[in-house]
Structure 1
């Protein structure tokens, strides 16, 4: 047998042995905001050795240069690799690849092209804080991490709890989002998502949350948004009907309105809504002439009612 043919057969045998492992399949990049994770599936029922995986990447325009690849994970037993730490340029395009390795053997590479600005999905806001006012609710939405890379807008969907089919939409350019002209003392449900028109991207909506809008009569000051999961106590005082003692000298439980008014003057109410939390504090000045007090933490026990 000629020498060159013998050498060629040996090389073929070595190549076949090194590539005898099955290659990863169903390779996909899970990309949400700036978090990138390459995932894949792999199986080989005839292999008894433990299998590890190596994943790497290179810029798309130099993908044919083996020296240009940088490892993202090496010798990992997981079927995924976190590419977040690689800090891939958002407007770049990359060739990613992964292969299986076991007992000195390895599979062929499986490749996947990844272009972040095309493939990235937007994540929903991580937090939505609500603060109430008269016939309105103010939303403070957590700012998207994608703000530095694209113009992100915020879409608020809300509806009356009793009318779920009649949804309303409002769009805001920043995470401060006041919902105005709401019906007073009405329970509303709301959810928020972010979107970008230039890239035609939008996140999923946050989970619906419910809250109440408040109301203000001619002489009523509303201080706190009442959230459905937060119980409240309401204290009402009447002008000329009640002279409230010094709270330092009297316990709150001793203060009760009279059974009948001592004056026929106009009644004025000053409403205070307080979370039943041991550190909750509310202090405000009432309308002129109305009696008032400062709520002392722990002065009202759970279940106690004021009328």
Structure 2
């Protein structure tokens, strides 16, 4: 009985070990970095088991592998179905080295660990400047560069003090003639530029020790200034004068139209023609009516008498009158006859 139980346990252990050995490990392990942001990514085959597969990610300081004791690995992502794990929260020392490992889990079986070494100083990519500001100072341009920042909003120069910036600037639409300037300062003046000309500027971060280069920032275009020429002064003066004159005329015309509208609406009874003003007003420019005197009434008016309507009595019969009219208009016959 005891021998049979041991045999079955041995068979189960062998089957379990065989299942774990056949489970593929993650492939194409890589760390995507930017300043102090780190994300571990990997690939795993597209099989039926990939639907239920989960992954576990751990890390360890590299120097602890030399210890005689079994090292204690730190778990970051456990039983996650994603093909990536964010290591930013681990707060890796920028000048340290770490061992990263990940394995697949399917139905209680585990694959072998896939291991990758990661050192932030040589491996982490540096980002472009976090912000750029530009100001035109005459024909010169002042450029203010903000350092790339870490996850704690500190300057990346705290970890890379020898980092510098490469500035490309060119006259608008002439990118092939771009000029370059390297500087470690955060405030730079671009001199000897043309006045009243558009220039575009783009900046990247550089670290020569590990040959790090960030992407260039999006080009920012700004126009330089300078002493205006005589024709610009004359043109601006004439333009301002014309605009002021047009505005004043429009304002006066608007007031005039409003006044005319109000006058026509509120004082319509006082509007007299020239003929009426000659007789009814003191003068042509006056709206005060002049009352008529008794002497002028005879000159302006005639006496009118109303006669009563006269009625003429007609004693003739209307029928006889009609017959007489027919005889009077009778058409004559042949000659000699009436």
Is TM (by shorter chain) over 0.5? yes
Does 2:174 align with 1:174?
Answer: no
Question: How many pairs are equivalent?
Answer: 232
Deviations 1:153-180, CA, capped at 9 Å, x for gaps: 1211011124221121112222212211
Describe the SS at the equivalent of 1:128. strand
**Deviation at 1:121?**
1.0
Gap regions ≥5 residues in structure 1: 220-234, 243-249, 257-307
**Which residue in the other structure is 2:76 paired with?**
72
**Deviation at 1:196?**
2.0
Structure 2 CA distance for aligned equivalents of residues 125 and 8 of structure 1: 62
1:192 to 186, 203, 219: 203
1:149 to 159, 167, 180: 159
- TM-score, L = length of structure 1: 0.66
**Deviation at 1:88?**
0.7
Structure 2 CA distance for aligned equivalents of residues 157 and 40 of structure 1: 37
Structure 2 CA distance for aligned equivalents of residues 115 and 164 of structure 1: 37
Structure 2 CA distance for aligned equivalents of residues 125 and 216 of structure 1: 33
Structure 2 CA distance for aligned equivalents of residues 66 and 97 of structure 1: 16
Q: Is the helix fraction higher in 1 or 2?
A: 2
Describe the SS at the equivalent of 1:47. helix
Change in CA separation of 1:254 and 1:19 when aligned onto 2, cut-off 3 Å:
farther
Change in CA separation of 1:170 and 1:48 when aligned onto 2, cut-off 3 Å:
closer
Structure 2 CA distance for aligned equivalents of residues 31 and 48 of structure 1: 26
1:92 to 93, 96, 105: 96
**Deviation at 1:13?**
2.8
Deviates more, 1:168-177 or 1:112-121: 168-177
Deviations 1:223-268, CA, capped at 9 Å, x for gaps: xxxxxxxxxxxx9559xx98xxxxxxx9x95599xxxxxxxxxxxx
**Deviation at 1:213?**
1.3
Describe the SS at the equivalent of 1:214. coil
Change in CA separation of 1:255 and 1:84 when aligned onto 2, cut-off 3 Å:
farther
Describe the SS at the equivalent of 2:63. helix
1:113 to 107, 117, 125: 117
Describe the SS at the equivalent of 1:165. helix
Does 2:215 align with 1:204?
Answer: yes
Q: Is the strand fraction higher in 1 or 2?
A: 1
Give me the CA root mean square deviation.
3.3
**Which residue in the other structure is 2:144 paired with?**
140
**What does 1:127-276 correspond to in 2, within 5 Å?**
127-145=131-149, 146-151=156-161, 152-217=163-228, 236=236, 254=248
Structure 1 CA distance for aligned equivalents of residues 61 and 33 of structure 2: 17
CA contact (8 A) 2:16 2:109 kept: no
Change in CA separation of 1:173 and 1:104 when aligned onto 2, cut-off 3 Å:
same
2:23 to 21, 24, 32: 21
CA contact (8 A) 1:25 1:42 kept: yes
Structure 1 CA distance for aligned equivalents of residues 70 and 121 of structure 2: 25
Change in CA separation of 1:255 and 1:37 when aligned onto 2, cut-off 3 Å:
farther
CA contact (8 A) 1:54 1:99 kept: yes
Structure 1 CA distance for aligned equivalents of residues 132 and 50 of structure 2: 51
**Deviation at 1:31?**
1.4
CA contact (8 A) 2:64 2:71 kept: no
Gap regions ≥5 residues in structure 2: 150-155, 251-338
Structure 2 CA distance for aligned equivalents of residues 14 and 117 of structure 1: 41
Deviates more, 1:177-186 or 1:63-72: 63-72
Change in CA separation of 1:109 and 1:137 when aligned onto 2, cut-off 3 Å:
same
Structure 2 CA distance for aligned equivalents of residues 11 and 253 of structure 1: 97
**Deviation at 1:217?**
4.0
